Amino acid sequence: MFRDEKVALIPVGSTEQHGPHLPLGTDFFTAQALAESVARKTGAICTPAIPVGVSSHHKQFWGTLWVSPQTFRQYMYEIGTSLGYHGVRRMIYVNGHGGNFPSLQEISRALRLEGLHALVFQWWTDPAAAELEKSLFKGKGTHAGGVETSMVLAIRPELVDTSSYEEAAKGASATFGITKFGAQLPVDTLDFSQSGATLDPREATVEAGKQLFQAAEESLLNLTRWLEKAKDDELEPKPHKD
Ligand SMILES: [Zn+2]
């Protein structure tokens, strides 16, 4: 029951192009599947998934929706404070979209000043999933390539258009973004990828997706249990030094 639970999982993603072969909802579908599965196993609360995030860099592709980082931060912060009002003072933003990360990290710090403890979990930066990725795929996984396509094949296979793999691969970039002399240029996806994808979705398999999902799920499960049991003084800011 809501009033008895200590930890909430907040799935958050985006509605954005993922090449011609993956659904616009890819990032919140993956976040939601992980959060719901861990909530079922731990008893933690799972809030509704937040489907729109910081995605203006995909704007030239049909169907992409976005909000500004300011709007996103405010909205996600207030979801945190409303959970706090119900006495749920510990939460995990289960993030499915890289563009949301700086904002989520920022509000987690701001929430801590209010006595609320928020963490950010992302399946593709989870060390266990990242390690597995190295052994399963030739290319390092980023946007709409073999890795992400495998994840969607594992959770929503009916939404993957395998007949568009070729088209996705043909216009794909080798990396996500453009770097010059160590500086990341503030470019849009269309500046470096014609299909909207990075790397090759033809590497994707259901089996690889299931393994990745399981690895990330186990990490999120352990994180949730840790957060549930952590002592307050492990989470709270230290008092000022003498
Ligand atoms: Zn994605």
Mean pLDDT in residue range 111-140: 93
Which pLDDT does position 141 carry in this prediction?
67
Taking the centre of ligand 1 as the mean of its atom positions, its distance from the CA of residue 231, in whole angstroms, is 34
Q: Are 128 and 155 in contact (CB under 8 A)?
A: no
Q: Which of 181, 239, 201 is nearest to 22 (CA)?
A: 201
Give the pairing type, strands 7-12 and 90-95. Answer: parallel
What is the reported pLDDT for 2? 78
Q: What is the mean pLDDT of the chain?
A: 96
pLDDT score recorded for residue 214: 98
Q: 222 C-alpha to center of ligand 1: Å? A: 24
> Which residues, 6 or more positions from 229, have their beta carbon under 8 angstroms from its beta carbon?
none
Looking at residue 238, its pLDDT comes to: 93
Q: Averaged over 12-21, what is the pLDDT?
A: 98
Distance 22 CA to ligand 1 centre (A): 9
How far, in Å, is the centroid of ligand 1 from the Cα of 242? 47
Distance between CA 166 and CA 201 in Å, rounded? 8
Does the pLDDT of residue 1 top 90, yes or no?
Answer: no
| Four-residue CA torsion sign, 127, 128, 130, 135 | positive
Ligand 1 centre from 206 Cα, in Å? 17
Reading the block at residue 165, the tokens are 């793999």
Nearest to 95 by CA among 213, 13, 212: 13
What digits encode the pLDDT tens for the residues 51-76? 999 999 999 999 999 999 999 999 99
Q: Is the pLDDT of residue 166 over 90?
A: yes
pLDDT of 32 > 80? The answer is yes
Q: Mind listing the pLDDT tens digit for each residue in 181-233?
A: 999 999 999 999 999 999 999 999 999 999 999 999 999 999 999 999 999 99
